[in-house]
Amino acid sequence: MKLTGAQILLKTLKDEGVDTIFGYPGGCVIDIYDELLRSDLRHIFVRHEQGAIHAADGYARASGRVGVCLVTSGPGATNTITGIANAFMDSIPVVIITGQVPSHLIGNDAFQEVDIVGITRPCTKHNYLVNSTEELAQTIKEAFFIASSGRPGPVLVDIPKNVVQNTIEYKAPKTVKLRSYNPTYNPNMKQLHKVVELIREAKRPIIFAGGGVLLSKAARELTELARKTQIPVTTSLMGMGAFPGSDPLCMGMIGMHGTYRANTSSGKCDLMIAVGVRFDDRVTGKTDTFTPHAKIVHIDIDPTSIRKNIPVAVPVVGDCKITLTHLNKLLDETDLSDVQKKRKIWLDQIEDWKKTQPFAYQQGAVIKPQYVVEKLYELTRGDAIISTEVGQNQMWAAQYYHFDNPQHLLTSGGLGAMGFGLPAAIGAQIAFPDKLVVDIAGDASIQMNIQEMATAVQYCLPVKIVILNNGFLGMVRQWQEFFYEKRYACTLVEHAPDFVKLAEAYGAVGLRAQKPEEVEAVLREGLFSPKTVIMDFVIEREECVYPMVPAGAPITEMLLV
C-alpha cells in the first residue's frame, strides 16, 4: 500500500489512539492539513500556537492520555516553547509535531526555518528530526512510547515538508524497543521491607504525595496506604487530588502557601513517606532545615529525582502505583493493631493545629477572592475540573477548592506559566464534554491567551472563566508589599478591557459582580449557562495570600494573617 508521508502520519496517530489534535496551520504543514480534511481525526483550530500546546497539555492532564499538538515551522514552532517547557516541568505526556522546511533547505536560513530540535533539546524528554518518509511511522510510534512511559514528558517530532509529501510503500512500525531507555517500574522488595519497618516504628509519620501519584494513577493505592496506617497526608500543588481533600487525614497543601498544619508537621515528623515528588524549592524552603527529625522514604520512577534536592534514608525506584500496591500487600501481612493507639497523640496535635490556625479571611463590604472560590466549591460540590492561571488566583484555588478526585486540578506547577488556564480548560472540556470545567484566573493572566475565547466559542465549549479582578499583578504586588516597602513597580494594571463587553464581542456570555451579595447569583447564572462564560469579580485590591513562607526561609516560618 503506497501512502504519502502525510497519510502515514495521520494513520500512525490513529493507530496510537489519537482522536484530537490541537493545532494551527502553516506552509510547512499544509499537506498534513490537506490530508486532515479526509480524516476522521478531530482538529481544534486554536488562535495561537501557545494555545495549542497548552490545550494539548490540559487534555493530557485531564484524560491521562497523550495530548497532540500540530504547528508549522519557524514562529509556529517557537510559539510552543513556553508550553513545551511547562509540560516538561510537570512531566505531562504531549507529542508536538512541527513542520520544517524541505530537507535540502535546512541550514540555508530559509523562510520560516528554525532549529526547533536544537532549541527544545533542554525542555523535551526527547526530540526527533525525521530524515526520510521511510522512518516517519516508526518515529511517531517511538515518540508516543517515550512521552507516556517512565516519567512522562513532551516529545517533539520535526518533519521536513518533503518528508510528508513523498510517497512510499507503507510498512507498519515495529514494536518499540530502545536499548538505552528502560524505565524501572518494579521496586526493590528489600527496600519496601525497610519501609514497612519504619512505618511500624514511627510515632509522628506523614505522607507527602506529588504529581507522580496522579501520573501513575495511584490515588486509590495511596488512599489505602494512608487509611490503613493512619498516616496524615499532605500534597504538593501538583499532587492535589491524589488524596481526598475532605478526608480527616488530609492536611492540605505543603509549601510556601501551604496549610499551617502541613508545614508545621514537616518540622515535627519522624518519618516522611514521599511519593511521586521532586522536593522543589517552593515545598522545602531552606533545604537544610527541612524535616530535621525525619527519616525520608522517597518513592519515584525517576532515579535522578531521588537525593537531587533532599537527603533520603530509603530510596525506592519504581512506578508509584506498582510500588504502593506491593507496599500495601506487605502491610496487610503485618500486625498493625497498635497503629491507631500509637498515632493518637500525633493526630490530635495535627487536629489542634487545624482548629487553631485554619485558612482565614473576613468578608466585608468588598468581595474577597477566597469567598468567590469557596462559593464556587459549594455550588459545584467539588466536582468541577478546575484549571488555573498562575499567581494569587492559583493559590486561592488550591487553598479554598477541596479536590477529592484525581485529574481535577490543572495548573502550571513547575514553570508557573501565566496564560495556561484558559487553553488548558479548553483541552479538558474537549476530553470531557459533559463535565463542568472552570478556569480560575486573574485579570492580568487571563489576557495572556485571551484570544482562545474565540476557540471556545467556535467549538461551543461551555468553559467558565472566573476572573478574580484586583487590577494588579497580584502575587508580584504582594511580594512588593512584604519585601519592597510597597513600591509597586509596574504591577498596577492601569488599563484593562471591559471583560463583560469582551466576552460579548467573542460571542460568549459576560457577567460581573461588584458586591459580595452579587457573587452567588453571578456564579449560579454563569455555571448553569450552556455557553462559554466570563464572570468578572471585582475583588479587594490588596488582598494577600496567607500563610506565606518568605523565599529561602524554613518552611515552618510562616507569615500568618
**Residue 279 is a catalytic residue:** no
Q: Pairing state of beta strands 205-209 and 233-235?
A: parallel
CA distance 262 to 359: 12
Instruction: Give residue 465's identity as a one-letter amino acid code.
Output: I
Please state the φ and ψ torsions of residue 298, each to the nearest 5 degrees. Answer: -120, 115
**Residue 49 is a catalytic residue:** yes
Structural Rg of the chain based on CA atoms: 24
Bridge partner list, 159: 99
**Residue 475 is a catalytic residue:** yes
CA distance 341 to 44: 56
Q: Which of 112, 191, 357, 451 is catalytic?
A: 112
Give which of 212, 67, 61, 76 is closest to 154, Cα–Cα. 67
Q: What is the rounded average pLDDT of the residues 121-132?
A: 98
Look at residue 339 in the predicted model and tell me its pLDDT: 87
Residue corresponding to grid cell 502491610? 331
Segment 227-281, tens digit of pLDDT: 999 999 999 999 999 999 999 999 999 999 999 999 999 999 999 999 999 999 9
Q: Which of 16, 49, 142, 221 is catalytic?
A: 49
Give which of 111, 137, 86, 94 is closest to 27, Cα–Cα. 111
Q: How far apart are the first and last CA of the chain?
A: 69
Half-sphere exposure of 203 (CA within 13 A, CB side): 4
Segment 320-359, tens digit of pLDDT: 999 999 999 999 999 998 888 889 999 999 999 999 999 9
Q: What is the rounded average pLDDT of the residues 389-400?
A: 98
Dmax over Cα atoms in the chain, in whole Å? Answer: 73
**Residue 268 is a catalytic residue:** no
Of the pLDDT bands very low, low, confident and very high (cuts 50, 70, 90), residue 390 is very high
Instruction: Give residue 221's identity as a one-letter amino acid code.
Output: E
CA distance 381 to 364: 24
Q: What is the rounded average pLDDT of the residues 380-402?
A: 97
Give which of 55, 31, 23 is closest to 423, Cα–Cα. 55
Whether the pTM exceeds 0.95: the reply is yes
CA distance 230 to 328: 13
CA distance 166 to 133: 7
561 has a pLDDT exceeding 90: no
111 has a pLDDT exceeding 90: yes
Percentage of the chain beyond pLDDT 90 is 98
**Residue 452 is a catalytic residue:** no
515 has a pLDDT exceeding 90: yes
190 has a pLDDT exceeding 90: yes
Q: What is the rounded average pLDDT of the residues 441-453?
A: 98
Q: HEC profile for 234-292? A: EECHHHCCCCCCCCCCEEEECCCCCCHHHHHHHHHCCEEEEECCCCCHHHHECHHHCCC
Q: Which of 475, 535, 548, 558 is catalytic?
A: 475
Report residue 236 as a C-alpha cell: 504538593
Look at residue 366 in the predicted model and tell me its pLDDT: 98
Look at residue 340 in the predicted model and tell me its pLDDT: 83
Crossing angle of helices 136-148/5-15, nearest 10°?
30
Q: What is the rounded average pLDDT of the residues 522-542?
A: 98
Give which of 27, 33, 191, 169 is closest to 105, Cα–Cα. 27
Burial class (CB in 10 A: 0-12, 13-18, 19+), 117: middle
Are 292 and 267 in contact by the 8 Å Cβ rule? The answer is yes
Q: Which of 11, 161, 295, 368 is catalytic?
A: 161
Q: What is the rounded average pLDDT of the residues 100-108?
A: 97
Q: What is the rounded average pLDDT of the residues 70-99?
A: 98
Q: Which helix (H) or strand (E) holds 388?
A: strand 385-388
Are 323 and 187 in contact by the 8 Å Cβ rule? The answer is yes
392 has a pLDDT exceeding 90: yes
Percentage of the chain beyond pLDDT 70 is 100
